[in-house]
Amino acid sequence: MLDYAGPARFEPSGRPRGVEEHPHRGFETVSIAYAGSVDHRDSAGNSGAIHAGDVQWMTAGSGVVHEEMHGKDFTAEGGDFEMVQLWVNLPAAYKNVKPHYQTLLSAEIPRVELGTGVYARVIAGELGGRRGPAKTFTPINVLDVRLQAGADGSLKLPAGHHAAIVLLRGDLVVNGKRIQGEAQLAALSGDGEGVHLTANEPSLVLVLSGEPINEPVVSYGPFVMNTEAEIQQAIEDYKAGRMGRVA
């Protein structure tokens, strides 16, 4: 799943807005901040904040309850808000790992030039000899690509990966095919093809690829497991308070 909170303007408020207390189990959430800020707290006592350029990589694993709210300063001052949340499935062998966070600050995310006026920030995986800071359970590439108008660049993805280009906003030609607007997705073949990007206007893009897990997937709301029985167990555990509560 990929959720794009497109550019929006928030006025100052005396009360934080966001997603209040809710559970997750069996996968990871990857929150990429382009503008604004989010404070998070969870049932394990963890807390932190991400701002423009930062990424929060949360492994829900065996189960966690957390909340994601506008940051204190952003709530008081208002401003532009733009974020992406990507859900990354976990293999069966790791669905019950202990929940934990990776806060990836902007300064820690390497930048790779792909051509004049186009570059990629390597959040996870590897590109151009640079490795992203995210620690993953399966081979994954998450690339935050920015293009100026008229920019032209290329990159190559691993053979065997499922891959896609997500145009968050802009006007882009991908391997000769034009996509434009907001939240547009173009699937790529799994043969490790080269990806050629040309921007007709300033464009914000996510390039995603991952090695297939090849296991059954059963999802229900905030839970992603392998069987219906595991989903029912997750629901029961949450209702019984076994995933904890945000203090």
pLDDT band at 38 (very low <50, low <70, confident <90, very high): very high
pLDDT tens digits, one per residue of 80-127:
999 999 999 999 999 999 999 999 999 999 999 999 999 999 999 999
All domains in the chain, ordered by first residue:
2-9+25-106+216-239 (2.60.120.10), 110-210 (2.60.120.10)
In which band, very low, low, confident or very high, does the pLDDT at 189 lie, cut at 50, 70 and 90?
confident
Confidence at residue 191, expressed as pLDDT on a 0 to 100 scale = 77
Residue 201 has pLDDT above 80, yes or no: yes
Residues 176-203 have a mean pLDDT of 90
The string of pLDDT tens digits covering residues 228-243 is 999 999 999 999 999 9
The tokens 């293009």 sit on which residue?
Answer: 147
Describe the strand order of the beta sheet including 100-104 as a list of residue ranges: 2-10, 79-89, 27-35, 55-59, 100-104
* pLDDT above 90: residue 79: yes
